[in-house]
Amino acid sequence: MAFVLDNKEMVEGFFEETRLLGIQAPVKDYMFCWQVNQLMNIDFRINNELEIQLKKKGRNYFFAVYEYAQPSCCLMHYLYNNQHDGEYLLPEFKHLDFLWLLKDDCVSNEFVDDLVYSLRSINGVQLVMELTNEKIKNKEHLVF
């Protein structure tokens, strides 16, 4: 008996109770995380076990993922680097440098609005926008 992995079902399950922000900030990922940590009083840390690897044009591309567990609730924050060596994790959003995924808890519109407002106040941030599931063509690239 053969088992078949249903990618569509896996992706849908991964994106249950999530919100995704796209951020345009042409700075190094570690500098952006440092600024976020300092200004927003959170603690993003790189998680090398979550690093996303994509194979394109016969080469491997690695996209860093930072994570932060919000205290006293189940909410997890993941910050993806959308670019590596000229390739994109989500090619449909080439203008975005980072993707901020809020996962594993219900997030209110007010919380997202406050987060967007805080991110826009960071030096170097040019754009922050919420990405709806319908706009994301390569959702499977975000699944770890």
- Contact residues for 44 (Cβ-Cβ < 8 A; gap 6+): 33, 36, 37, 66, 67, 68, 77, 79
pLDDT digits (tens, 9 = 90+) for 51-70: 999 988 889 999 999 999 99
Stretch among 23-27, 82-86, 132-136 having the lowest mean pLDDT: 132-136
Query: pTM to 2 decimals?
Result: 0.88
* Architecture of domain 13-142 in this structure: 2-Layer Sandwich (3.30)
Tokens 């009083």 sit on residue:
41
Determine the average pLDDT of the residues in 79-108: 92
Nearest Cα to Cα of residue 140 among 78, 70, 77, 54: 54
User: What is the pLDDT, as a whole number, of residue 11?
Assistant: 66
At 79, which helix (H) or strand (E)? strand 76-81
Calculate the average pLDDT of the chain. Answer: 88
pLDDT digits (tens, 9 = 90+) for 68-91: 999 888 899 999 999 998 899 999
Structural contact between residues 42 and 50, judged by C-beta atoms closer than 8 angstroms:
no
User: What is the pLDDT, as a whole number, of residue 1?
Assistant: 55
Instruction: Give the distance, in angstroms, between the CA of residue 84 and the centroid of all CA atoms in the same chain.
Output: 14
Under the banding of pLDDT at 50, 70 and 90, the label for residue 112 is: very high
Residue type, 120: R
> Is residue 31 scored above 90 in pLDDT?
yes
Instruction: Give the distance, in angstroms, between the CA of residue 90 and the centroid of all CA atoms in the same chain.
Output: 10
- Contact residues for 49 (Cβ-Cβ < 8 A; gap 6+): none
